[in-house]
C-alpha cells in the first residue's frame, strides 16, 4: 500500500487519510506536497488522471485541490487532497505531468486557485475578461448579469439558487 | 495580431514569414466547436494553440443543483456519440457511492449497450477521420451500420441520440422482443462492413501515406500526457479498464485488448478496428447470457433508491410514499466521496462525486477522456503539414461536449 510507504519515508507528511468504498485518500500540507508527489511518482503513480477542486464554502481553508493518480503497474488508485485558502497559490505539477497543464488551467478558471509556476496561466473554458469563477459556491447558478452591458443591478432571476426550489 | 504575438520572442523573430490560420470554431474537420490557432511557416505548423470552451454548458455546476437521478440526461450530452456509455459510467459512480449493485440481467444489458455504443463511436471516429482525409466511401458504408445501432438504441431506450437509458440501481426498462433478432442481424452485417472498411482503408496507399508516422507518440509520453483508451493502447500500453479494473463482470467475458506499437494515426485506426471486432464478440456473449438468465428484474428492488412500479404506487400506501419521497427529496446518500471510472470509447471516463448527504451532489466532476489527449495537440502536429493536423485531430476522437462540459 502506497500510503504506508509514504508514512515510512515521509513521516508527518500525511495530515489526514480515509478510505471510502475502496478509494484511498490522503490529505497533505502545501509545504510537503511536492515531496509526496515526487515519492508517489517514483512508486509508480505516473498517470495523473485529473486535477480538480472542491469549494468548501464558508469553511477555512476554503478549497480542497484534488489530484487523482493511477499506478499502471499495480492498478492502484490514489487521491491526494490539499487544503488551501482563498488566493493561496498551489505548486504547479506541469514540469512533472504534462496532463496537469490544462487540468490546472481549468481549476484556476473555475475556482480561482492560482497555480504557482504554471507556464501558461490563462483561463481555459471562460473568456479572458469573464468575471468570477463559476464553480465557486457563491457564484450564482444563472451566471449573474455578465451578459448585460448595462448595470441593471441584479441577475435576471435573483432567487434562482437552485433548480429544485 | 502583433499585440497578441509580442510576448513570444520566436514569433517576433520570424514574424514576417509566419501566417496565422484559424481552424474552427466551426470548421468541418473540428468535430464540434473547437478553435485551433495555427501559426504556419509555409505549410509547416510552427505552433498550434487549441482554444476550447465554446460548448461549455456548466454541467458540473448544474449537477450540484440537480438530484442524482436528474443528472442522468446531462451525461448524454457529454459524449453524444456514445451517450449510453456515459449513462452507464455515471450510474455506476452513484451506485458505488450508495453501495448498491444492480440485478444480473441489468448488468448484462449494460455491457451490451456499452459495447454497441463503443462500436458506434468507433464507426463515427474512423468514418469521419476518413472523410476528413478524403476517403468518402468507407464513411458511407460505416454510417449504415451506425443507423442500425441507433435503431437498436431506439428499441432499448426509446430515443436514438440522447438515450438516458440507465437508472440508479438498474435500467429504465427491459429490451423488447424485437431487439434480439435485429441485434443478431446487426452482428452479421457489421462484421461484413468492418471487412469492407478494411479493404477500403487498411492497405490503401493514400490512407497509409496520410496516417503512418503522423502523430506518433512514445508510451512514456502518452502516459505523461494523461492518454487513456485507444490512443494509449495504440502507443503500446496494454491498459484497458475492462480488464485491469473490471466492472459489470467484464472479467467473465472473453475478449482481447488491441495494442499498437507506434501510437500514430494508422495504429489508432487499427486499434479501433480490432476493438470493434472484440466488441461484437462481447455483444454476442451478452445475447447468449440474456437467454441463459431469462426474464427478470432490471432494476433493484429497493424503493429507497429506485421508483416502485406504477401499479404499486396506485394501490399501496408505502409505495406511494416512496415514490413521493424519491421525487421530492431524492435518494438518501451516504456522506463521502468516490471516483468511479469506466472504459468509454475514447478512454477513461471518470466521475468524481462528493456527497454531503443531501439530495444533490455537493460536487460532481467529470473526467473526460479526450481532454488530456487534446491538450497534447501542439506537440503532435508541431513541424508537420496542415493536412496532418486534420488526420491527428480526427484520430484523437475529440468530442467538444465532454471536453468543455
- Supply the DSSP string of chain A, one letter for each residue: -HHHHHHHHSTT-EEEEEEETTEEEEEE-GGGHHHHHHHHHHTT--EEEEEEEEE-TTSSS-EEEEEEEE-TTT--EEEEEEEE-TT--EE--TTT-TTHHHHHHHHHHHH---EET-S----SSS-TT--S-TTSTTS-TT-TTTT-SS--SS-SSTT-S-TT-
What's the CA gap between A57 and A31, in Å, rounded? 23
| Claim to verify: residue B30 and residue B96 sit in the same structural domain | no
Q: Do both B324 and B343 map to the same domain?
A: yes
**B107 and B161 together in one domain:** yes
Of B41, B345, B293, B80, the closest CA to residue B174 belongs to B293
What pLDDT, on a 0 to 100 scale, did the predictor assign at position A70? 92
**Beta-ladder partners of A65:** A53, A82
Q: What is the mean pLDDT of chain B?
A: 88
Write down the ipTM of this complex: 0.86
CB-based contact B300:B166 (threshold 8 Å): no
Residue B194 lies in a domain: yes
Over range B294-301, report the average pLDDT: 88
What torsion, rounded to 10 degrees, do the Cα atoms B101, B107, B109, B112 define?
A: 140
Do residues B63 and B45 share a domain?
A: no
pLDDT tier for residue A149 given thresholds of 50, 70 and 90: very low
Q: Is B3 part of any domain?
A: no
For residue B320 the three cell numbers come to 406511494
Query: pLDDT tier at B302 (50, 70, 90 boundaries)?
Result: confident
- Cα B298 vs. chain centroid, distance in angstroms? 24
CATH of the domain at B348: 1.10.645.10
Confidence of residue B16 (pLDDT cuts 50, 70, 90): low
The reply to whether residue A134 touches residue B58, judged by beta carbons under 8 angstroms, is yes
Phi, psi of B338 (to 5 degrees): -135, 150
Give the count of domains, chain B: 2
Across residues B84-103, what is the average pLDDT?
A: 92
Tell whether the torsion through CA atoms of B233, B236, B241 and B246 is positive or negative. Answer: positive
H/E segment holding residue B59 = helix B59-63
Would you say residue B388 has pLDDT above 80?
A: yes
Spatial separation of the C-alpha atoms in residues B261 and B217, rounded to whole Å: 9
Q: Are A85 and A60 in contact (CB under 8 A)?
A: yes
| B35 plus B154 within the same structural domain | no
pLDDT value for A143? 60
Mutation to test the A interface, candidates B70, B337, B349, B373, most A Cβ within 10 Å: B337
Kindly identify which residue of chain B lies nearest to residue A109, measuring between CA atoms: B53
pLDDT at B148: 92
Is residue B40 located within the same domain as residue B78? no
**3-class DSSP assignment, residue B300:** coil
Residues B238 and B333 in one domain: yes
User: Would an 8 Å CB–CB cutoff place A125 in contact with chain B?
Assistant: yes
The confidence score (pLDDT) of residue A15 equals 85
- Does B44 share its domain with B187? no
* A101 closest CB neighbour out of B53, B237, B375: B375
Distance (Å, whole) CA B78 – CA B342: 14
For residues B201 and B329, membership in a common domain is answered with: yes
HSE-up of residue A70 (Cα within 13 Å, Cβ side) = 22
Tell which residue, A24, A52, A53, A54, has the closest CA to residue A40.
A24
Q: Is residue B2 part of a domain?
A: no
Q: In which domain, by residue range, is B41 found?
A: 9-51
Residue A122: count other Cβ atoms within 10 Å of its Cβ: 11
pLDDT confidence band for B372 (50 / 70 / 90) = very high
> Is residue B137 domain-shared with residue B65, that is, in the same domain?
yes
Confidence of residue A148 (pLDDT cuts 50, 70, 90): very low
Mean of all residue pLDDT scores within chain A: 82
Decide: helix, strand or coil at residue B348.
Answer: strand
Chain B positions touching A52 (Cβ under 8 A) are 352, 365
**B37 in contact with A at a CB cutoff of 8 Å?**
no
Q: B145-170, pLDDT tens digit by residue?
A: 999 999 999 999 888 888 889 999 89
Query: Do A64 and A21 contact (CB within 8 A), yes or no?
Result: no
Cell of A55: 469549494
More confident residue, B12 or A60: A60
Domain identity same for B63 and B30: no
**B 339-378: CB under 8 A from A:** 339, 341, 348, 350, 352, 354, 359-360, 362-363, 365, 367, 371-372, 375-376
> What confidence score (pLDDT) does residue B8 get?
52
- Over its C-alpha atoms, chain B yields an Rg (Å, rounded) of 22
Q: Is the separation of the CB atoms in A122 and A128 below 8 Å?
A: yes
Assigned domain for B239 exists:
yes
Q: Contact A98/B375, CB-based, under 8 Å?
A: yes
| Residue range A15-28, pLDDT digits in tens | 888 888 888 899 99
Residue B354: which H helix or E strand, with range? strand B347-355
pLDDT band, very low/low/confident/very high, at A13 (cuts 50, 70, 90):
confident
Of A79, A77, A21, A76, the closest CA to residue B100 belongs to A21
The neighbouring-strand residues paired with B368 are none
What local confidence, expressed as pLDDT, does residue A59 receive?
85
**Does residue B328 carry a pLDDT above 50?**
yes
| CB atoms B372 and A68 under 8 Å | no
pLDDT tens readout for residues B238-251: 999 999 999 999 99
Task: Say if B393 falls within a structural domain.
Answer: yes
Is B157 contained in some domain? Answer: yes
B91 belongs to a structural domain = yes
Rounded to 5 degrees, φ, ψ at A113 are: -95, 115
Contact call for residues B273 and B191 (beta carbons, < 8 A): no
With beta carbons less than 8 A apart as the criterion, state whether A129 and A147 touch: no
Same domain for B130 and B204, yes or no, is yes
For residue A106, the model assigns a pLDDT of 92
> Furthest-apart CA pair in chain B: how many Å?
80
pLDDT at B160: 87
Q: What is the pLDDT of residue B15?
A: 57
How confident is the model over B85-111, as a mean pLDDT?
92
Assigned domain for B45 exists: yes
Return the residue of A nearest to B228 by Cα.
A49
Choose among B153, B139, B161, B142: nearest CA to B182.
B153
Q: Residues A112-122: what's their mean pLDDT?
A: 90
Strand partners, B171: B166
Amino acid at each position: 500500500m502506497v500510503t504506508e510507504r509514504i508514512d515510512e519515508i515521509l513521516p508527518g507528511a500525511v495530515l489526514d487519510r480515509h478510505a471510502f468504498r475502496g478509494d484511498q485518500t490522503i490529505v497533505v500540507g502545501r509545504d510537503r506536497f511536492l515531496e509526496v508527489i515526487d515519492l508517489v511518482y517514483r512508486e509508480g503513480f505516473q498517470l495523473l488522471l485529473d486535477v480538480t477542486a472542491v469549494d468548501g464554502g464558508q469553511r477555512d481553508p476554503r478549497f480542497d485541490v484534488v489530484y487523482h493518480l493511477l499506478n499502471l503497474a499495480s492498478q492502484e488508485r490514489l487521491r491526494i487532497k490539499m487544503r488551501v485558502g482563498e488566493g493561496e497559490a498551489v505548486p504547479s505539477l506541469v514540469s512533472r505531468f504534462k496532463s496537469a497543464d490544462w487540468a490546472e488551467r481549468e481549476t484556476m478558471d473555475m475556482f480561482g486557485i492560482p497555480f504557482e509556476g504554471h507556464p501558461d496561466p490563462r483561463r481555459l473554458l471562460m473568456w479572458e475578461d469573464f468575471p468570477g469563477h463559476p464553480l465557486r459556491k457563491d457564484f450564482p447558478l444563472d451566471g449573474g448579469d455578465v451578459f448585460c452591458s448595462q448595470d441593471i443591478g441584479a441577475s435576471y432571476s435573483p432567487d434562482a439558487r437552485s433548480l429544485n426550489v | 495580431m502583433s499585440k497578441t504575438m509580442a510576448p513570444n520572442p520566436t514569433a517576433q523573430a520570424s514574424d514576417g514569414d509566419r501566417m496565422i490560420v484559424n481552424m474552427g470554431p466551426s470548421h468541418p474537420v473540428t468535430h464540434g466547436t473547437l478553435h485551433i490557432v495555427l501559426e504556419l511557416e509555409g505549410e509547416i505548423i510552427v505552433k498550434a494553440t487549441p482554444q476550447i470552451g465554446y460548448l461549455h454548458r456548466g454541467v458540473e455546476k448544474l449537477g450540484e443543483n440537480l438530484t442524482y437521478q436528474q443528472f442522468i440526461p446531462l451525461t448524454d450530452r457529454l459524449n453524444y456519440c456514445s451517450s449510453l456509455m456515459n449513462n452507464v459510467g455515471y450510474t455506476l459512480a452513484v451506485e458505488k457511492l450508495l453501495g448498491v449493485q444492480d440485478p444480473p440481467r441489468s448488468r448484462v444489458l449494460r455491457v451490451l449497450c456499452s459495447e454497441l455504443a463503443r462500436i458506434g463511436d468507433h464507426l463515427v471516429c474512423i468514418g469521419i477521420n476518413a472523410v476528413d482525409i478524403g476517403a468518402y466511401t468507407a464513411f458511407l458504408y460505416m454510417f449504415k451500420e451506425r443507423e442500425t445501432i441507433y435503431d437498436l438504441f431506439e428499441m432499448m431506450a426509446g430515443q436514438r441520440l440522447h438515450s438516458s437509458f440507465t437508472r440508479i440501481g438498474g435500467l429504465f426498462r427491459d429490451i423488447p422482443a424485437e431487439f434480439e433478432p435485429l441485434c443478431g442481424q446487426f452482428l452479421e452485417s457489421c462484421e461484413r462492413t468492418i471487412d469492407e472498411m478494411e479493404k477500403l482503408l487498411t492497405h490503401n496507399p493514400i490512407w497509409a501515406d496520410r496516417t503512418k508516422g503522423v502523430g506518433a507518440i512514445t508510451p512514456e509520453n502518452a502516459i505523461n500526457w494523461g492518454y487513456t483508451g485507444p490512443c494509449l493502447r495504440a502507443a503500446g500500453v496494454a491498459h484497458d479498464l475492462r480488464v485491469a479494473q473490471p466492472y459489470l463482470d467484464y472479467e467473465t467475458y472473453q475478449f482481447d485488448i488491441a495494442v499498437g506499437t507506434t501510437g500514430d494515426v494508422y495504429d489508432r485506426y487499427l486499434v479501433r478496428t480490432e476493438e470493434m471486432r472484440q466488441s461484437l464478440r462481447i455483444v454476442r456473449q451478452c445475447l447468449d447470457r440474456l437467454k441463459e438468465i431469462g426474464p427478470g428484474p432490471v432494476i433493484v428492488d429497493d424503493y429507497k433508491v429506485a421508483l416502485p412500479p406504477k401499479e404499486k404506487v396506485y394501490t399501496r400506501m408505502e409505495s406511494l410514499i416512496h415514490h413521493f419521497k424519491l421525487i421530492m427529496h431524492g435518494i438518501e446518500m451516504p456522506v463521502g466521496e468516490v471516483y468511479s471510472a469506466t472504459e468509454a470509447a475514447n478512454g477513461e471516463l471518470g466521475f468524481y462525486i462528493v456527497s454531503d448527504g443531501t439530495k444533490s451532489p455537493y460536487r460532481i466532476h467529470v473526467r473526460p477522456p479526450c481532454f488530456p489527449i487534446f491538450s497534447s495537440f501542439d506537440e503532435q502536429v508541431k513541424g508537420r503539414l496542415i493536412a496532418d493536423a486534420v488526420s491527428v485531430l480526427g484520430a484523437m476522437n475529440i468530442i467538444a461536449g465532454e471536453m468543455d462540459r
